[in-house]
Amino acid sequence: MSPELGRFALALACVFALAQAILPVLGARRRDRRLMALAPGLALGQLIALVASFLCLVNAAVTNDFSVANILENSSVTKPLLYKITGVWGNHEGSILLWALILGICGAAVAAFGRNLPSALRARVIGVLGGVAAGFELFCLTTSDPFDRVWPAPLDGQGMNPLLQDPGLAFHPPILYTGYVGFAVPFAFAIAALMEGRVDAAWGRWVRPWAVAAWCFLTCGIALGSWWSYYVLGWGGYWFWDPVENASLIPWLSGTALMHSAIVVEKREALKIWTVLLAIGTFSFSLSGTFLVRSGILNSVHAFAQDPARGIFILALLGLVIGGSLALFAWRAPSLTSGGLFAPVSREGSLVLNNILLCSICAVVLTGTMYPPFMSLLFGKTISVGKPFFDAATIPLAIPLFTFMGFGPMLPWKRAQLWPVLRRLWVAALATLAAFGVTVIGLSGVLPILCATMAVWIIGSSLTDIAGRLALFRVSFSQSIQRAKSLPRSAFGAALAHIGVGVSVLGLAVMSQAQHKIVEVHVGQKEELAGYEWTLTDVRTVPGPNYMAMVATMEIRHNGRLVTVMHPSKRSFNMQNQTTTEVSIHTNGLSDLYGVIGDKHGPDSNPTYVLRLHYNPLAPWMWFGALIMAMGGALSLSDRRMRVGAPRRAPAPDMVAAE
């Protein structure tokens, strides 16, 4: 499969996308059923062309076609096959093509699963997705062509960044991108709603599954990236408040708010304008975050490209998508009728508070991330915003958010009495008080104690909510089972997702008590850390497929009993003249023993080795919690009401006039 065929397929996909962006939308405006009916076929055609283009690039990587500049700069003959394939999206050009491919999948998915949508709305949604896809594909073809040729073709490539040669980072981008791009569908629904001038309960029910699906992927992508930082970078941490990490956290926060506000639209037809704005804002954050990373404005180990020359196209595309959608919002939002009055103490009220706090945290992270580059661009000042700022600014907002998470889902819609709900939570309150006592004794620092206590509150109240719905211990067990069968899966999913938040927060809080030390030892020398005895017993050199590794053997004992033998290593890649550390981790689910080998010092006859030793309590819980959150979202998606969609929409006689 030649690169020229891949470029032709990409150009063909762009033609399909442009047609998809124009014809169905025009058909919806004119009520022309023939034009609207073109939308699914165009979306499918675009997807087939993108798949063909992407396979051409994969084929070039696997067959070592170094006449392709992208392959030449990011691959080599000795690179393992897995990383030849995953390396396709481990660079700027390939990652943008992957973005376009996932966007094409989203358009085809709406075409396939949106058959119950009104034809005009479906045509507009697919049309908007086509417009965004066309922008990405034009970006690929004009400034980021993954099929550019070089002549003469070298016999070998320049190799891949060794940090990217890891399974975690190999699969992290596709999952993260699916989350990013998935929010394009709620965005398209929002733009379509603004075109129609109508948002109602049916719209809320259509949007919610797409928002939940994107949120699940983004949660997994962020967690996988955090886990990669933990076990690859060798610094023992999991989140650096790195600008690129923040670029994914920002849409996750606004996307979480979107999921919750869409419930209010669906159940009570309230928060319509706010939900539409959140849908636009979340995808705008996804889009701008991706381009800021790729343009090199946000410098990071994750930034694959440092090419400000593409800035003009990026700014034009961002201006068109984000500026255009906000302009349409400003024009049409006043025509969206509000409804669903509710009291401050109600389920809706708690979800509004949830939105305010989530968006406040989102604003803090956005400010802390963008302030340094703006100061550099506008005033030439180099400053950095680090962990102390983010901790001090976000945790005080997170504590009340965690508090309200406990009883918000238990409040009735429209109007509620707070005391009866709080009275149902007495068991969770007692568990929280007990947790507070334990954490005061076991943890140091006010914020870790508060966070750990709130984590127990979230978990306890979520379990209490489910127990109350099943009437556990108030009716027979068989009756509780019958209640469980009749309870919507989305109720279990929401509780599970909240429990996942509690588990992650508990892991974060207790992880703050981690112990570590950096030592320089001879082979056979022992060190003590956290009650464990760490002994370096051997260091040897082992060849790899495209590197040489210095592999250490460390025995860890507790009270004289052998706990584990660890083999951290340090790899030297001659082609890229880089070294990487391969951490060795032993976990029992409650804590991690974490070892890293650093530099070798002294003569070969009596060398010493630098070791970094960590004891990380509850570290695995941070990622278990994220997995539980995503499972909660997936369980909600399996709810029949989510899969079937909304009830038939009432006719809208003023729809045409609204245009």
The confidence score (pLDDT) of residue 309 equals 61
| pLDDT cut 90: percent of the chain above it | 59
Q: What does the block give as tokens for 461? A: 């109240």
CA distance readout (Å), 76 to 80, 97, 155, 407: 9, 21, 9, 56
In 3-state terms, what secondary structure has residue 524?
A: coil
Mean pLDDT of the chain: 88
Contact at 8 Å (CB) between 625 and 504?
A: yes
DSSP 115: T
Read off the pLDDT of residues 297-318 as tens digits, 9 standing for 90 and up: 655 444 444 555 677 787 888 8
DSSP 323: I
The confidence score (pLDDT) of residue 295 equals 60
In 3D, which of 446, 410, 447 has the Cα closest to residue 428?
Answer: 410
**CB neighbours of 555 closer than 8 A, spacing ≥ 6?**
534, 535, 537, 562, 564, 565
**Distance between CA 592 and CA 128 in Å, rounded?**
47
**Distance between CA 617 and CA 284 in Å, rounded?**
37
Q: What does the block give as tokens for 63? A: 């067959």
- Decide if pLDDT at 86 tops 90: no
H/E stretch holding 581 = strand 578-582
Of the spans 176-185, 237-246, 302-311, 380-389, which averages the highest pLDDT? 176-185
Give φ, ψ of 8 to 5 degrees. -65, -45
Read off the pLDDT of residues 269-280 as tens digits, 9 standing for 90 and up: 888 999 999 999
Give φ, ψ of 444 to 5 degrees. -120, 140
**Distance between CA 621 and CA 459 in Å, rounded?**
13
H/E stretch holding 143 = none
The confidence score (pLDDT) of residue 539 equals 94
H/E stretch holding 305 = none
Q: What does the block give as tokens for 351? A: 């979800």
Contact at 8 Å (CB) between 6 and 57?
A: yes
**Distance between CA 574 and CA 78 in Å, rounded?**
12
Read off the pLDDT of residues 419-435 as tens digits, 9 standing for 90 and up: 888 888 999 999 999 99
Phi-psi region of 613 (alpha: psi -120 to 50; beta: other; left: phi over 0): beta
pTM: 0.91
In 3D, which of 527, 515, 587, 578 has the Cα closest to residue 552?
Answer: 527
Q: How far, in whole angstroms, is CA 27 from its chain's centroid? A: 35
User: In 3-state terms, the chain is what percent helix, strand and coil (to 5)?
Assistant: 65, 10, 25
| Cβ atoms within 10 Å of 474's Cβ, excluding its own | 10
Q: Give the pLDDT band of residue 382 (cuts 50, 70, 90).
A: confident
Give φ, ψ of 30 to 5 degrees. -90, 0
Region 483-497: what's the mean pLDDT? Answer: 91
Read off the pLDDT of residues 328-349 as tens digits, 9 standing for 90 and up: 999 988 887 766 778 888 998 9
Q: What does the block give as tokens for 219? A: 């949660």
Report the relative pairing of strands 532-543 and 548-558 from DSSP bridges. antiparallel
More confident residue, 239 or 186: 186
The confidence score (pLDDT) of residue 163 equals 73
Q: What does the block give as tokens for 14? A: 């762009």
Phi-psi region of 554 (alpha: psi -120 to 50; beta: other; left: phi over 0): beta
Contact at 8 Å (CB) between 60 and 74?
A: no
| Cβ atoms within 10 Å of 653's Cβ, excluding its own | 7
Token pair 């699916």 is at which residue? 178
H/E stretch holding 108 = helix 92-113
The confidence score (pLDDT) of residue 1 equals 64
**Distance between CA 171 and CA 174 in Å, rounded?**
6
**CB neighbours of 444 closer than 8 A, spacing ≥ 6?**
513
Token pair 């997936």 is at which residue? 634
**543 - beta bridge partners?**
548
The confidence score (pLDDT) of residue 653 equals 46
**600 - beta bridge partners?**
609
